[in-house]
Amino acid sequence: MAAIQLIINNASYEVDVAPDTPLLWALRDKLNLTGTKYGCGMGLCGACTVHLDGEAVRACQTPVSLVGAKKVTTIEGLSPDNSHPVQRAWIAEQVPQCGYCQPGQIMSAAALLAKTPKPSDDQIEAAMVGNLCRCGMYQRIRRAIHRASLSQAHGAQAYVAPAYCGGASSGGSAAKGA
Amino acid sequence: MAISRRQFVVGGAVAGAGALVIGVRLSGHLVRAQESDAGAKKPAPNPFDAYVHVRPDGHITLIVAKSEMGQGIKTGLAMILAEEAEVDFNSVSVEQAETRPDIYAHMGTGGSGSTQENFTPLRQAGATVRALMITAAAAKWNVPAAECEAKKGSVLHEKTDRQASYGELIEAARKLPLPNPEKVELKDENDFELIGHATPRVDIPSKVNGSAKFGIDVRVPEMVFAVVARCPTFGGKAAHFDADKAKAIPGVRDVFEIPAMGADKFSAGGIVVVADSTWAAMKGRDALAITWDHGAAASESSEGISDALRTAAQKSGARLRNDGDVDAVLSNGAKKVEAVYEMPLLAHATMEPMNITALVRAGAAEVWAPTQSPDWVQGTVASVLGLKPDKVIVHTMLMGGGFGRRYMADFPAEVAQIAKVVGKPVQLVWTREDDMTHDFYRPATCHRLRGAVDASGHPVAWFHTLASTSIRGYWDPKADAAEGESGGARQLPYAIPNVRLEFNGVNSAVPRAWWRSVEHSFNGFVVESFIDELAAAAGEDPMKFRRSLLVKPPNWKPRFEYDPDPARLLGVLNLVAEKSGWGNPLPKGKGRGIACYHSFGSYFGEVAEVTVKGNDFRIDRIVAAVDCGQIVNPESVRAQTESAIIYGLSAALKNQITIKNGAVEQTNFDAYDPLRINEAPLIEVHLLKSTEDPGGMGEPALPPVAPAVANAIFAASGQRLRKLPFQFKAA
């Protein structure tokens, strides 16, 4: 196995994996970037969605050997402090339940809004149809995308979360990752 | 790599020891007895030990002894504690409890029970904290306790303008005798500042930036990854396997067999591949050459199961309710209606496939489990390893969905078998295919319904024969399978003079267990569809027909456990009728359907609006009305309602598990595809105010949605859909 260079969230990484290894497993098992989730391994559920040069792709269907010089953005790289308009809208609309699919949902939504700042309901459906949410939070996702779109356009006031919502670790418990 | 000090208690006991003792421990126990699972009485826990940790620096941590799977329990239970303890919810931390069944009476998260079970005990625990703090402050200032008030984590004495934080008072408070929690004064409901008020969930911010740690995200030093090749056929095993090619895959470290174990086959057994990464383990598994002994169930098929169920539904069975004389009425001249309903096996399909991480060292184990039942995980792992349960530390991780699947102890048993061999921290990962083909499925059922209405349109007979590949029948074929799965059918709430319910079980090798709303997922569909059929036979409006039959006599008492209160059911029926514009004319091709149903202590009325076009139909909107008693977090009640409705619609419209040659045919989301965003209707939720005890919220919105849709399709097209998932064809 030869080391493969990757640019992830604007940092350089070297991973020593077989070239056919999906980006998903390089991120999760070699680089401890566990925000990108495994759901189906077949590109059917969207839980592993990341950006390659701004395009939403399924990391489970993207061998590391094909990433090349393209910049990878994962959920961890979207913003340092939950300040991306999509993240703010997701908190304001209280979108996640179990939350497992949400990194993928958010990455799909962020890619949509980057290209289509004011998406219609049909455009939202077309961009999000590949992202399953077993908790069924679809109408909140729809609302949150509209909210993020408005806040991008008008610089709507930032959603101020209560202090107890501020920490990145409030949902975790015993085993915090690397 | 930053490791929190709560990790590696087994691997490095010193690091963990101090960090586990948080807050101030008091001697003695609360005197109130709580009933544990085994029915044994044990003392209620000391709230400072168990629920409210106050540090001298003033930091307060609220401990939640239930598992979070998105239902918002970390927020809801903490709100109850904070309300009575008078601490500032915005400045506390909320933490997952240790797995200590000796402290927490019942740690399982299921049956929509967490709020129901904990509402009063946690109010009492919080109120005890408040009372002790006030007593300590009053003594310190030498003023009457009645003049002191607790607010936002401090005690105030207005007359002398004095104030002390809980942190300052904890030293004195810990020395006070604990009051009887049953006698501690609780707040008046009108003074609630948190309970009943929409509160943002504490787990959400970590779920929008990838920092939330689910079970599959556990990363500990030196860990390896494992997958298991299980026989596709239930009850089968490997006759022979060759691991040479698997071992040649870069990153693969070991291949070995684990046996099926337990009378209930908690571990299916199989060939384990251990590797440096999940991907290498999966590739190693693909490279295994295995000859399976498919076992005794290799010929089982869905056709066979369905035939057996249909036959069983035609036979008389165990009689679970028998009012009046159904036979006499059905053989008389009244207008008769007969229908057969069928429902398939279903998988849970949580977004996060099953997984669990464990480290086994001499005489001890440490487990990181995304589980609904950490105490069961603890017991199972201990039993596989021959340890006492208190030698097994179980960290409860966030779950990427539960829905009943994560109550089971099969993956914990497997990881114990594997970790014992590996001797390092090992994460067992189930692929989506493993998850879908080795679930514990919602039973398949067939129901024969016979009813009659008299000349004036009153229903006079209801005879329900329920045939099921029952859950209890799977766990113990000799068990009285009927009792556990008659819920909602036995408690038929409508005032009909002659009612009979009979049950027949059908055996199968397919594992079965609890799926979101359990038997209510099928009985709710049948009851709320057939009452609609009787309304149609009577020529009545389905809403008015139900309304006329929801009668609460002045001396009403529940006849059966979980019997719904007819007045509360009528309340949600009326509310949903009003909010949905029931009775307002609709254009041709559109229809409305209604259903009302009680389960898990909560009442739901739901109306579906559909548009029928050609061979297709579309759900335009769902309106729901809920009476769940005292609402803790309205935000969570709404979210759970939306969630259960979508989950129920996935089953109504799309999903089924089928069996061929003893194995599940669907292996991934291509063949078992839950509802997607383009298929999800608008959902409106209306909450009824109530001061009744809280009901459950994880499940009860689910049962009425499928019948509401089927009834709407009938209204729009005249076509009755009695089989799930629906197959609609234009007449």
Taking an 8 Å cut-off on Cβ atoms, the answer to whether B279 and A142 are in contact is no
pLDDT of B481 reads 59
Pick from B179, B176, B185, B155: which is nearest to B167 by CA?
Answer: B155
Contact in structure between B537 and B714 (CB atoms under 8 Å)? no
| Every domain of chain B and the residues it spans | 13-207, 215-296+354-429, 302-346+441-717
Backbone angles phi and psi of B524, in degrees to 5: -65, -40
Confidence of residue A175 (pLDDT cuts 50, 70, 90): very low
In contact, B399 and B215? CB cutoff 8 Å? yes
Distance from CA of A60 to the nearest CA of B (A): 10
Query: CB distance B639–A97 less than 8 Å?
Result: yes
* Nearest chain A residue (CA) to B73: A97
Q: How far apart are CA B199 and CA B176, in angstroms?
A: 33
Assigned token pair, B235: 């009850």
**Which amino acid is it at B637?**
V
Give the pLDDT of residue A55.
Answer: 97
Between chains, do B200 and A161 touch, taking CB under 8 Å as contact? yes
The tokens for B435 are 């998850």
E strands, A9-89, are 11-16, 49-52, 55-58, 71-73
Q: How confident is the model at residue A1 (pLDDT cuts 50, 70, 90)?
A: low
Which residues on A lie below 8 Å from B431 (Cβ)? 41
* pLDDT(B28) > 60: no
Phi, psi of A127 (to 5 degrees): -80, -25
Instruction: List CB contacts (< 8 A) between A35 and chain B.
Output: 209-211
Task: Answer whether residue A111 shows pLDDT above 60.
Answer: yes
Among the partner residues A124, A166, A178, nearest to B1 by beta-carbon distance: A178
Closest by Cα among B14, B25, B20, B90 to B52:
B25
Contacts with B238 (C-beta within 8 Å, 6 or more apart), sequence order: B229, B231, B257, B269, B270, B271, B290, B291, B292, B293
Q: Residue B205: closest CA among chain A residues belongs to which residue?
A: A165
Interface membership of B678 toward A (CB under 8 Å): yes
* A102 in contact with B, Cβ within 8 Å: yes
> Closest Cα to residue B26, out of B48, B45, B50?
B48
B302 to chain A, closest Cα gap in Å: 25
> What is the per-residue pLDDT across B331-374, written as a single tens digit (0 to 9) for each?
987 899 999 999 999 999 999 999 999 999 989 999 999 999 99
**So what's the pLDDT on residue B261?**
87
Q: What is the DSSP string of B623-666?
A: EEEEE-SS-S-HHHHHHHHHHHHHHHHHHHHT--B-EETTEES-
Whether the per-residue pLDDT at A169 is higher than 80: the answer is no
Residue range B84-98, pLDDT digits in tens = 999 999 889 999 999
| Residues of A whose CB is below 8 A from B674 | 132, 134
Q: Does A2 touch chain B (CB under 8 A)?
A: no
Asked whether the beta carbons of residue B277 and residue A21 sit closer than 8 angstroms, the reply is: yes
Q: Where are the alpha helices (DSSP H) in B654-704?
A: none
CB contact (8 A) between residue B395 and residue A101: no
**Residues in CB range of A149: below 8 A, 6 or more apart:** A113, A117, A118, A119
Q: What is the ipTM of this complex?
A: 0.93
Residues of chain B numbered 254-293 and touching chain A (CB < 8 Å):
276-280, 282
Q: Is A139 on the interface with B (CB under 8 A)?
A: yes
Q: What is the mean pLDDT of residues A71-100?
A: 96
Domain B13-207, CATH class in plain words = alpha beta
Mean pLDDT of all residues belonging to chain B: 91
The whole-angstrom separation of Cα B574 and Cα B625 is 9
Render the burial of B645-669: b for 16+ CB within 10 Å, e for the rest. bbbbbbbbbbbbbbbeebbbbbbbb
Q: What is the mean pLDDT of residues B192-201?
A: 96
Q: From the list B94, B213, B668, which residue is nearest A40 (CB)? A: B668
Q: Are B80 and B120 in contact (CB under 8 A)?
A: no
User: Which residues of chain A make contact with B71, given a CB cutoff of 8 A?
Assistant: 97
Is residue B719 pLDDT above 50, yes or no? yes
* Structure-block tokens of residue A114: 């980057």
Which pLDDT band holds residue A165 (cuts at 50, 70, 90)?
very low
pLDDT tens digits, B408-421:
999 999 999 999 99
User: Could you give the domains of chain A?
Assistant: 3-77 (3.10.20.30), 85-158 (1.10.150.120)
Q: Mean of the pLDDT values across residues B100-119? A: 91
Res. B106 pLDDT band, cuts 50 70 90:
confident
pLDDT bin (cut points 50, 70, 90) of residue B45 is confident
Q: How far is A3 from chain B (nearest CA, A)?
A: 14
Question: How is residue B241 written in tokens?
Answer: 């396997």
Q: If we measure between CA atoms, which residue out of A99, A124, A123 comes closest to residue A47?
A: A99
pLDDT in tens, B202-252: 999 999 999 999 999 999 999 999 999 999 999 999 999 999 999 999 999
- Residue keyed to tokens 């006031």: A157
**Is any Cβ of chain B less than 8 angstroms from the Cβ of A174?**
yes
Nearest by CB to A76, from B1, B210, B220: name it.
B210
Joined together, the tokens standing for residue A164 give: 């107890």
| Residue A165 C-beta-side C-alpha neighbours within 13 Å | 20
| pLDDT band, very low/low/confident/very high, at B266 (cuts 50, 70, 90) | confident
Rounded distance between C-alpha atoms, residue A169 and residue A176, angstroms: 8
Residues 155-174 of B with CB under 8 A from A: none
How many secondary structure helices (H) and strands (E) does chain A include?
5, 5
Contacts of B623 in chain A (CB under 8 A): none
Q: Does B92 contact A164 at a Cβ distance shorter than 8 Å?
A: yes
Residues B205, A82: C-beta atoms closer than 8 Å: yes
What DSSP designation does B164 have? E
Whether A99 sits inside 8 A of B70 (CB atoms) is yes
CA distance B207 to chain A (A): 5
* Helix residue ranges per DSSP H, B510-625: 520-538, 542-549, 566-580
Q: Shortest CA distance to B189 belongs to which of B697, B696, B692? A: B692
For the segment B274-300, the average pLDDT, to the nearest whole number, is 97
Q: Which residues of B touch A19 (CB under 8 A)?
A: none
Contacts of A148 in chain B (CB under 8 A): none
A44 touches chain B (CB under 8 A): yes
Cα distance from A69 to chain B (closest Cα, Å)? 23
Give yes or no for A168 touching B (CB within 8 A): yes
Residues of B in contact with A47 (CB under 8 A): 351
Q: ω into residue B725 within 30 of 0, thus cis?
A: yes
Q: Is B225 on the interface with A (CB under 8 A)?
A: yes
Dist. CA B94–CA B99, nearest whole Å: 16
Q: Which residues pair with A14 in a beta bridge?
A: A5
**Predicted confidence (pLDDT) at residue A161 exceeds the cutoff of 50:** no
pLDDT of residue B652: 98
Over residues B18-24, mean pLDDT? 23
Say yes or no for a CB contact (<8 Å) between B96 and A173.
yes
Q: What is the distance in angstroms between the Cα of B406 and the nearest Cα belonging to chain A?
A: 13
User: Tens digit of pLDDT for each residue in B291-336?
Assistant: 999 999 999 999 999 999 999 999 999 999 999 999 999 998 789 9
Closest by Cα among B402, B58, B45, B369 to B214: B369
The region of weakest confidence among B332-336, B434-438, B553-557, B664-668 is B332-336
* A39: its two tokens: 């759901």
Decide if A71 touches B, using CB distance below 8 A. no
Q: What tens digit of pLDDT does each residue of B574-598 get?
A: 999 999 999 999 999 999 999 999 9
Task: State the pLDDT at residue B181.
Answer: 85
Residue B659: phi and psi, rounded to 5, are -115, 135
Q: Which residues pair with B625 in a beta bridge?
A: B605, B686
Q: How far is CA B678 from CA A128, A142, B557, in A?
A: 8, 10, 45
Asked if the Cβ–Cβ distance from B682 to A139 is below 8 Å, we say yes
Residue with more model confidence, B27 or B445:
B445
The C-alpha torsion from A160 through A163 and A166 to A169, rounded to 10°, is: -160
In chain A, whose CA is at the least distance from the CA of B68? A98
Rounded to whole angstroms, the Cα distance separating B284 from B267 reads 21
Contact B95 A173 (CB under 8 A): yes
Tokens at residue B291, please? 């000859």
For residue B511, give the 3-state DSSP assignment: coil
| Chain B nearest CA to A154, separation (Å) | 22
Identify the pLDDT of residue B11: 32
**H or E segment to which residue B274 belongs:** strand B270-275
Output DSSP code: residue B672: S
In whole angstroms, what separates CA A127 from the centre of its chain? 14
Distances (CA, A) of B210 to A52, A133, B20, B678: 18, 16, 26, 25
Q: Closest-CA residue in chain A for B63?
A: A173
* Overall average pLDDT of the B533-549 stretch: 98
Cβ–Cβ gap B635/A162 under 8 Å: no
Common-topology check for domains B13-207 and B215-296+354-429: yes
Specify whether domain B302-346+441-717 bears CATH 3.40.50.970. no
**Partner residue opposite B217 with nearest CB, options A18, A25, A177:** A177
* A107 contacts chain B (CB < 8 A): no
Q: For B646, left (φ over 0), alpha (ψ -120 to 50), or beta?
A: alpha
Q: Residue B480 — pLDDT band, cuts 50, 70, 90?
A: low
Which of A74, A135, A169 to mutate against chain B (most B CBs within 10 Å)? A135
The domain defined by B215-296+354-429 folds into Aldehyde Oxidoreductase; domain 4 (3.30.365)
- pLDDT of B484 reads 63
CA of B82 to nearest chain A CA: how many angstroms apart? 13
Q: Categorize the per-residue pLDDT at B476 as very low, low, confident or very high, splitting at 50, 70 and 90.
A: confident
